[in-house]
Structure 1
């Protein structure tokens, strides 16, 4: 199918065919946009693999929903992190460039929306959007009575217990009755596996499903991938056993030396404290790296992301603040310096899959490398237990096999 056949406005189709350069809809774009064209009024839960065009799907859905003659906010899109919200905003404004649709980025430090010409679409993080929509002394910065569509990107992350969840639910309550909600992620909790067998859910997964039902009652579910199948995508996974944390730190410069011939990489750590330790072992060897975590100021975070996306640094060392939805086409390698854990120190399969999904985007190839010490071997095994493709071992003291794997990725990319 072409974009024109999906009932999109001519100005959007022209932008896609021209400056945006999208030739045809992806599978998730075709599936959801076709439903909207056919007139469904139901809420939608859309689950598809990393790099499958989910942002384009809900971006096109919102842009097509907007009535440009109506001088009012009509669509709200919420994402869990500043970097992801900014990325979504840039993609949607690019698609909207041949329309008269106004978009507003609502993240901390963004300033105020114009009351005379309010945005048609607001994109941002839960707390900031909540502040824009909520009444203060009887007034709101942005009036929400005309909102027709709410999109939650990486919805499972935002509906976990905590401030993100509370602010997201509060945003939904500010919107008029009858608006449509679209929930988007690659890793929604699933009550059955690919064979239809029941899956035992933990308390956090049960809580997410309850919250999903609160914000999107009786939805149509479009599931193009099961979580257990995400491991079969074009990102082979390997693990290297190290003696301890110091041994991991000693190995990182060797890895940097090899991977820079392939492309850019992201090294994920579980805590902010680990980031400068990893960075120091690289800068001491005259390697340029960037550090990103939620404790940086807004301008610092923006600058780090901008520099990395421009290719000024080859390696980004980060916490899970960018594990979900962060897209840099040149990222070929993801390194888990720490195997991800939940807040209560249990294996975190969702974050593991999202981290790995930062490599090999947009049909490219990539790989993931897990650095494990004796305390983390069992954690990795627990995470990968239900996955169809598990990580393969590579030797710690012989770099030749690792170099061959990396060069294989380079050839394919």
Structure 2
């Protein structure tokens, strides 16, 4: 059996490995370290959880043990897709290089540029970065990549999923052509293969497992369920999740719960906490300090359940995860391999559950096609019992409100289309005979009651009485029954309520 002492590593590195408690390399480490020490390009393909990080950090530290870094010109570069994975690589470097004088800098988002600039200005041997933050420093003129001797691309397939391939190609162009490239990925998509053919020179290909295979130490299961209605689907899934956790009992010492959307991550974490479970969310919208705090608590064992998006699915080395729950069926089949790879690491056993609804059939079939195996179906732990009612979250309350609003709209529409009920109470009838007085208007059948006009008294000014008389005069005659004089012609459109000043103006024009 091959041991680390047989791999021609630096004695200081071997001492650090011994302090970490390791003696025997994993297959990917045993296959990648020797050609890397020879200076060859390496293409490593292995499923997650097989120790790929040490496959490039150990030979890198050995090869960089001689030499000196210059300001703003790192000697090696490690690219990682996420902040958490970059921080994990930095932690591995610290552990294995503790007996050397090599320096490092970690360039990730959420950290001050000033602190990172100070590290780069002093000169670093190893630069560990995410592509976006690395390009930010380069465009600000704070970094030169012409001195890079070794370049590492970790989790290349995740880079592809996150859209970093154009940035990777640009960074490759900034580094010397004579660099040594170590390229690691869990799967080999056509785009990844194109990049390796372009930027790697006669690489040593190390493939310790077929691409997109799951570890034999992981026990898989899927719960097929049919929601009672669409509005209650999420609540029923959370009920099933809690029932599975309860059925596992003490065997579920800790677990990662994966959701497809960040909003669902927050909802599931809040629901678990409301039901007495120790859970916290982690996703890309959280501040970096909060993400690191939650992740450290899960590593330390102070946090039992970690509700995560796929930001936590790739490369994070948390060796003692007992369970992985896929609350949502991943939309990309490759993500299933990476998610369940968080358990069953380093030869340990693990268990995974996935909750699959009718709308997930297509994605579930793609997963089984990728892994080339049938995932065992298990019974719904709730059986035929209807899920207990759960307080609706603010996100879910929006849908019922919309439904009730539409119901009210339909009610209003129906009420407008239906004939109104007849009024049973008749309008009062005026029995008094109509007087032939100009001040008394003719009653109208449609009016509910006759209109009452104030009478002009003798005490009022004489001009007001004349104006009122003139305003009523046109209504008393019509062109059809009058004698035909100009002064007797009705003014069309003025009505009985013509203002006094308008009536006066018409009167003046008649007499002029």
Higher mean alpha-carbon deviation, 117-126 vs 247-256, is at 247-256
CA deviation digits over 1:85-127, x for unaligned, max 9?
A: 1111101110000111112211111532435531100112111
CA distance in 2 between counterparts of 1:299 and 1:49 reads 29
TM-score by length of 1: 0.84
Q: Which position in structure 1 is the counterpart of 2:10?
A: 9
Offset, 1:277 = 2.2
Residue in 2 aligned with 1:337? 327
| CA–CA separation in structure 2 for the residues paired with 1:58 and 1:380 | 34
Quote the offset at 1:177 in angstroms.
1.6
Aligned-partner Cα distance in 1 for 2:287–2:85 = 16
After TM superposition, the structure 1 stretch with the greater mean CA deviation from structure 2, 78-87 or 61-70, is: 61-70
Using the TM superposition, give the Cα deviation of residue 265 of structure 1 relative to its aligned residue in structure 2, in angstroms. 0.5
Matches within 5 A, 1:234-245: 234-244=217-227, 245=233
- Per-residue deviation, 1:128: 1.4
Residue 50 of structure 1: CA displacement? 2.4
**Number of residues paired by the alignment?**
368
Residue by residue over 1:248-286, the C-alpha shift from the partner in whole angstroms, topping out at 9 and shown as x without a partner, is: 121222233344612210111110121222123212212
Tell whether the 8 Å contact from 1:236 to 1:391 is kept in structure 2 after alignment. Answer: no
Give the 3-state SS of the residue equivalent to 2:95 in structure 1. Answer: helix
C-alpha distance in 1 between matches for 2:260 and 2:121: 45
TM-superposed CA distance for 1:233, in Å, is 2.1
Q: Return closer, same or farther for 1:76/1:65 CA change in 2, 3 Å cut-off.
A: same
- List runs of 5+ in structure 2 lacking aligned partners: 228-232, 384-512
> Does structure 1 retain, via aligned residues, the 8 Å contact 2:48–2:314?
no
1:177 aligns with 2:177: yes
Q: Give 1:169 deviation, angstroms.
A: 2.1
Q: Which residue of 1 is the match for residue 56 of structure 2? A: 58
Q: Mark the CA change 1:14 to 1:264 in structure 2 (over 3 Å): closer, same or farther.
A: same
User: Quick check: 1:254 aligned with 2:260?
Assistant: no
Match of 1:294 among 272, 275, 284: 284
Report if aligned partners of 2:243, 2:382 keep a CA contact under 8 Å in 1: no
Distance 2:206 2:279 in 1: 39
TM-score, normalising length from structure 2?
0.68
The alpha carbon displacement at 1:371 in A equals 0.1
Matched residue of 1:45: which SS? strand
In structure 2, C-alpha distance between the alignment counterparts of 1:42 and 1:10, rounded to whole Å: 22
For 1:105, the equivalent position in structure 2 comes to: 106
- In the alignment, what sits opposite 1:74? 75
1:77 offset after TM fit, Å? 0.7
What is the distance in 2 between the residues matched to 1:84 and 1:115? 20
Q: Rg larger in 1 or in 2?
A: 2
Distance across 2 between alignment mates of 1:278 and 1:161:
24
1:80 deviation in Å? 0.6
- In structure 1, C-alpha distance between the alignment counterparts of 2:162 and 2:85, rounded to whole Å: 20
Is the Cα–Cα contact under 8 Å of residues 252 and 281 in structure 1 kept in the other structure? Answer: no
1:216-295 correspondence runs (5 A): 216-228=200-212, 230-244=213-227, 245=233, 246-259=235-248, 261-262=250-251, 263-295=253-285
User: Displacement, 1:374?
Assistant: 1.0
Q: Does 1:166 align with 2:166?
A: yes
The aligned counterpart of 1:118 is: 123
Is the partner of 2:347 in helix, strand or coil? coil
Render the CA deviation track for 1:118-148: whole Å, top value 9, x for unaligned: 110011211112233x253xx3x23322211
Cα distance in 2 between the residues matched to 1:106 and 1:309? 22
Unaligned stretches of 5+ residues in structure 1: 190-205, 342-347, 400-413
Supply the distance in 2 between the matched residues of 1:98 and 1:391 (Cα, whole angstroms): 46
Shift of 1:5: 2.6
Moved more, 63-72 or 266-275: 63-72
Q: 1:318 to 1:154 in 2, by over 3 A?
A: same
Cα distance in 2 between the residues matched to 1:116 and 1:209: 36
Q: What is the DSSP-based 3-state SS (H/G/I as helix, E as strand, rest coil) of the residue aligned with 1:291?
A: strand
* Aligned residue number for residue 350 of structure 1: 334
Q: Separation in 2 of the partners of 1:397 and 1:46?
A: 41
**Deviation (angstroms), 1:294:** 0.5
C-alpha displacement of 1:166: 2.4
* CA 13–397 in structure 1, closer or farther in 2 if over 3 Å, else same: closer
